[in-house]
Structure 1
Amino acid sequence: MKGARKASSAFGFAFLTLAFFLFLFYGNVAVGVAFLVLGVVFVVNGNAHGSQTGKAASN
Structure 2
Amino acid sequence: MSNSVQTNGETLVFTCAGAAYSGQASNQAGVQLHREKFGNLFCIAAIAADRPEKMERARNAGTRI
TM range (shorter): 0.3 to 0.5
TM-score w.r.t. structure 1 length?
0.35
TM-score w.r.t. structure 2 length?
0.32
Flag the structure with higher helix content.
1
